[in-house]
Amino acid sequence: MTHTIHHLIGNEWRAASDGASFDSHDPHDGSHLATVARGTAEDGDAAITAARTAFDEGPWARMAPKERAKILHAVADAVDDHRAELSDLETRDGGKTITQSSHAEIPRVAHNLRFFADYAAMAENEAYPDGDLLSYTLYPPAGVVSAISPWNAPLMLATWKIAPALAFGNTVVLKPAPQTPLTANRFAELALEAGLPEGVLNVVHGFGGEAVAGPLTSDPRVDRITFTGSSATGVKILQAAAANHTPVSAEMGGKSANIVFDDADLDIAVPMSIRAIFGGNGQVCLSGSRLLVQSGIMDAFLDRFVDAAQNLAVGDPKDPATVVGPLIEEKHLEKVHGYVELAQEEGGKVVTGGSRLTDPAHAPGFYYPPTVITGLTNSSRTAREEIFGPVETVLGFDTEDEALRIANDSPYGLAGILFTQNLSRAHRMAARWRAGTVWINTFFERDLRLPFGGEGISGLGREGGRYSREFFTEPRAVTIRLSR
């Protein structure tokens, strides 16, 4: 079945203003999946107008947070009711395994909505009586939010932005990634049916560097830009936003270290490390794509790690037994393979994987096997640049200080993953690690109350809990004299 994907502007589903479209493909077999509106500057402008009008004149921004929460809960319920359908769309659109779509990402969409709905309704406000003066803080919504999201966890990451933006009373223009447009539209449909007022959520489609993204980042009627994507795109968005002093929250790339000490419980460290790089096919910003193993256990660890990598089921993401699906598109597969070739030029050894899967079970899909590279140092480009695929670069170390120095020697600073049974060392490392998130003996667990973001070129600002409230509102100090 193929889909026709239009913009949602106000209450209206529209083709691009000039009628242009582009094709989106199923990464499992490269077949045509959707014809998508190729947004123009006029489309971006119209969506901002709809969001601006809804914000300035509609009920949303003035509703009590608990009233907004009721609607967002109804949207979350609709997501739960359509979990199978949304999971299937996500899996066919982006190659995400059906297990991950239906057991992790789509449930997390509903959780994003419920969490921020409740958070906004329950958030505490400060008030300071001070003799004749009473001072307090108001958190009015910021206004119109541009939300620009990537393809690697389409609806989960879109709602990581939409949910807090809406819960705190803003209106939104969402631009999903062109590779994965399907779930955003189905979600928007469900949201309208569940009672979200007209113009509160608008969706435009198209390519970043092209016309539709222009207004989203440079129109002065936009009050906040929340972006998730590559660090290179982040720079362009920051430059565009600077002209209007528009605040930007940017969640960008990563090259996170996964450190395994010789006292680690390998029954935990091996499967977690496998998940940290091959889960989501390595197309995960938080991937532990630099695996640092302490010298004494290098051989024992690698034997088990490589064996586990070779036994991962790579195939049709619609099959519940599949663990590793296809890469998102041909161009991306070429980029990933280019890095494997580079690794070899840099002196690295491909221990397993390293070339496209072209057998009948995988061709003509965009399949690449779990790949492990040894023999490089942290100064190689392979170890410094984000590959965003199923490619693990293994590095050795001897001491805690050396591990930390290598981990922090990166332009990125998104996550750190650590396996040790030494509690003091775990705390020492967490305190000195230049990373927005540190996981100890685990991976990928998220408490939405905590700050999420990155250091260095991995991020600007934090979202989550009160951090999202600060970004999506315009905190205002009010002081009143009580006597005449």
Give catalytic residues, as residue numbers. Answer: 251, 285
CB 87 within 8 A of CB 93: no
Nearer to ligand NAD, 79 or 415 (CB): 415
Q: What mask of x and - would describe binding to ligand NAD in positions 398 to 417, judged by CB under 6 A?
A: ----------------x---
442-455 burial, b for 16+ CB within 10 Å, e for fewer? ebbeeebeeebbbb
Task: Say how far apart CA 68 and CA 62 lie, in whole Å.
Answer: 10
Among the listed ranges 228-236, 334-342, 377-385, 396-404, the one in contact with ligand NAD (CB under 6 A) is 228-236
Among the listed ranges 29-37, 148-156, 306-314, 333-341, the one in contact with ligand NAD (CB under 6 A) is 148-156
> What DSSP state is assigned to residue 434?
-
Considering the complex, what minimum distance in angstroms separates the CB of residue 287 from ligand NAD? Answer: 8
Considering the complex, what minimum distance in angstroms separates the CB of residue 214 from ligand NAD? Answer: 7
Nearer to ligand NAD, 276 or 302 (CB): 276
Half-sphere exposure of 184 (CA within 13 A, CB side): 36
The CA-atom distances, in angstroms, between 326 and each of 167, 212, 362 are 35, 28, 9
Nearer to ligand NAD, 354 or 454 (CB): 454
Task: Say how far apart CA 192 and CA 451 lie, in whole Å.
Answer: 30
> What DSSP state is assigned to residue 222?
-
Task: Say how far apart CA 37 and CA 239 lie, in whole Å.
Answer: 26
| 217 binds ligand NAD per the rule CB under 6 A | yes
| 386 binds ligand NAD per the rule CB under 6 A | yes
Dihedral over alpha carbons 233, 239, 243, 249 (to 10 degrees): 60
Nearer to ligand NAD, 24 or 420 (CB): 24
Nearer to ligand NAD, 74 or 336 (CB): 336
Restricted to residues 80-99, the positions that interact with ligand NAD (CB under 6 A) are none
Nearer to ligand NAD, 317 or 454 (CB): 454
Restricted to residues 158-197, the positions that interact with ligand NAD (CB under 6 A) are 175, 177-178
Strands 201-203 and 437-440: unpaired
Half-sphere exposure of 52 (CA within 13 A, CB side): 13
Dihedral over alpha carbons 300, 306, 312, 316 (to 10 degrees): 170
Sign of the torsion formed by the C-alpha atoms of 106, 99, 252 and 8: negative
| 100 binds ligand NAD per the rule CB under 6 A | no
Nearer to ligand NAD, 61 or 448 (CB): 448
| 289 binds ligand NAD per the rule CB under 6 A | no
Binding-site member from 46, 47, 285, 429 for ligand NAD (CB under 6 A): 285
| 441 binds ligand NAD per the rule CB under 6 A | no
Nearer to ligand NAD, 194 or 284 (CB): 284
Restricted to residues 454-483, the positions that interact with ligand NAD (CB under 6 A) are 454, 459
Closest chain position to ligand NAD (CB): 208
| 230 binds ligand NAD per the rule CB under 6 A | yes
| 435 binds ligand NAD per the rule CB under 6 A | no
| 252 binds ligand NAD per the rule CB under 6 A | yes
Binding-site member from 17, 152, 159, 437 for ligand NAD (CB under 6 A): 152
Binding-site member from 236, 304, 384, 446 for ligand NAD (CB under 6 A): 236
- Residues recorded for the chain: 484
323 CB-near residues (< 8 Å, 6+ apart): 97, 99, 278, 312, 313, 314
SS3 content of the chain, % helix, strand, coil (to 5): 40, 20, 40
| 378 binds ligand NAD per the rule CB under 6 A | no
113 CB-near residues (< 8 Å, 6+ apart): 72, 73, 75, 76, 79, 159, 163
396 CB-near residues (< 8 Å, 6+ apart): 292, 293, 294, 295, 298
Q: What mask of x and - would describe binding to ligand NAD in positions 38 to 67, judged by CB under 6 A?
A: ------------------------------
Among the listed ranges 166-174, 203-211, 304-312, 423-431, the one in contact with ligand NAD (CB under 6 A) is 203-211
CB 199 within 8 A of CB 50: yes
Residue 240: how many other CB atoms lie within 10 Å: 19
Residues near ligand NAD (CB under 6 A): 148-152, 157, 175, 177-178, 207-209, 213, 217, 228-230, 233, 236-237, 251-254, 285, 386, 388, 414, 454, 459
